Structure 1
Amino acid sequence: MNLDQVLAFHCAPTIGGLKPANLIAHQKIVSNNNIIDTVNSLNRKGVFLEKLWESKYKELTLIFNKDLLLSSLESPEIWGYLLVQGYPMYSNLDAIISHLKTRISKNGSFPHEVGLFLGYPLVDVLGFIKNKGRNCKICGYWKVYGDEQEARCLFDSYSKARDEMCAQVQNGFSVVDILNAESTLYLERRVI
């Protein structure tokens, strides 16, 4: 898969502004002009990539919509949980992500709060911990222990965004082309 295919398949809900973040494990990326151009274009749209972990051959990258991630982490309940996990209070997003990197590298695995970064409801993260990953109501983009109907709606919207973006990439468009076209359509709708 090329970069556009990976981003479309794994990150369309985040790139499209439906979800605060996605996490992808992938082979190490060797930087080239195409990758740099894509990353710079995503940054201009408020989407950023942050390497959380790497080994000799693999990387774990967080792709996040900065505004959505900040908004989702601002909830008092989520902040309370993050504070218990040692996250620095009243910090900027860089410090928060830096702490997540430290937790991943120290634990050698995913700390449960990574789900909060990915937009999972706190009730589902706590339900996963309490039930040790068993006894969920449904399993889709995550294991649901709370509101099943809301989760199904989100799963459907995420899948639709993924399918639409993948189809456009399959038809020869880059993710940057798609974002630029969506911005133009958005502006046209506002003018009409």
Structure 2
Amino acid sequence: MEKVEFYKSLQSMEDREAIKNFLVYNSSLVIAGVKPSVTLTIKKSPENTYESWIKYGKDFLENINLKSLCLREEKNASIILVYNENILKEHILKKENIEFLNMLGYKKEDSIYEYVQQLKERYQEFNCPHELGIFLGIPIDDVKDFMECSSKRCLGCGYWKVYSNYEEAKRVFKNYDEIREKTMKNIMNGTPIDKIIRNISFYNYNQIYI
């Protein structure tokens, strides 16, 4: 219910303010540094949301040191990857992750931008490729088990389907929920956007990530 009220409150805001608050809430886990990236769906109806994204959103993300890339343009929406370049690079270049991506046909690159571009190509070819989970910070064992339709029992679902290390995953989910809930409450209480960003930026990726 609270989330419904939150999105209703965005509709009453001026376009620039609304898109900033939309992006801060939906990218809060990346701003906090606990996820390397997230995907956002920017709907083209109502038109002002998409127009605000084009006019203000991209520059706003750049100003808070986040990158964005359109993975796919659809008739009714754009699918956007929002990422922290440094954290995503560190995550992708982990031995187990880079070997997995190479096995899927990703070319070895020095720039994280090139890996994101390859993801975009595969996203358009396969609709939503399973390795997207690697870019989103999902543990590789869970990505593989989901991808391979493993006979292993799913232990639970949260931000992803968990097949291993469920207690640790629940701890991560709890931290994710806390960040998102605090961000939403701050926005609804009228806290200035700069202060909200400062408040959620102290989280440490290496402490929260599995």
Query: Do they superpose with TM above 0.5?
Result: yes
User: 1:133 & 1:68 partners in 2: Cα distance?
Assistant: 32
State yes or no: 1:35 paired with 2:57. yes
Equivalent pair of 1:128/1:134 in contact (CA under 8 Å): no
Paired residues, number = 180
Q: Which residue pairs with 1:167 in the alignment? A: 185
Equivalent pair of 2:134/2:140 in contact (CA under 8 Å): yes
Structure 1 residue matching 2:27: 3-state secondary structure: helix
Structure 1 residue ranges, 4+ long, deviating more than 4 angstroms after superposition: 180-183
Equivalent pair of 1:53/1:60 in contact (CA under 8 Å): yes
Q: Which residue pairs with 2:80 in the alignment? A: 61
User: 1:145 & 1:82 partners in 2: Cα distance?
Assistant: 20
Equivalent pair of 1:23/1:61 in contact (CA under 8 Å): yes
User: 1:155 & 1:181 partners in 2: Cα distance?
Assistant: 19
Which of 95, 99, 105 does residue 80 from structure 1 map onto? Answer: 99
Equivalent pair of 2:92/2:98 in contact (CA under 8 Å): yes
Aligned amino acid, residue 48 of structure 1 = K
What is the CA distance between 1:104 and its match in structure 2? 0.8
Q: Which residue pairs with 2:130 in the alignment? A: 112
User: Bigger shift: 84-93 or 98-107?
Assistant: 84-93
Q: Which residue pairs with 1:20 in the alignment? A: 36
Paired-residue identity, %: 28
What is the CA distance between 1:182 and its match in structure 2? 6.0
Give the TM-score of the pair, scaled to structure 1.
0.84
Structure 1 residue matching 2:148: 3-state secondary structure: helix
* RMSD, aligned α-carbons: 2.3
Aligned amino acid, residue 74 of structure 1 = L
Give the TM-score of the pair, scaled to structure 2.
0.77
User: 2:188 & 2:103 partners in 1: Cα distance?
Assistant: 44
Equivalent pair of 1:136/1:145 in contact (CA under 8 Å): yes
Q: Which runs of 5 or more residues in structure 1 are unaligned?
A: 187-192
Equivalent pair of 1:10/1:24 in contact (CA under 8 Å): yes
Structure 2 residue matching 1:131: 3-state secondary structure: coil
User: 1:100 & 1:6 partners in 2: Cα distance?
Assistant: 24
Q: Which runs of 5 or more residues in structure 2 are unaligned?
A: 1-6, 8-17, 45-49, 204-210
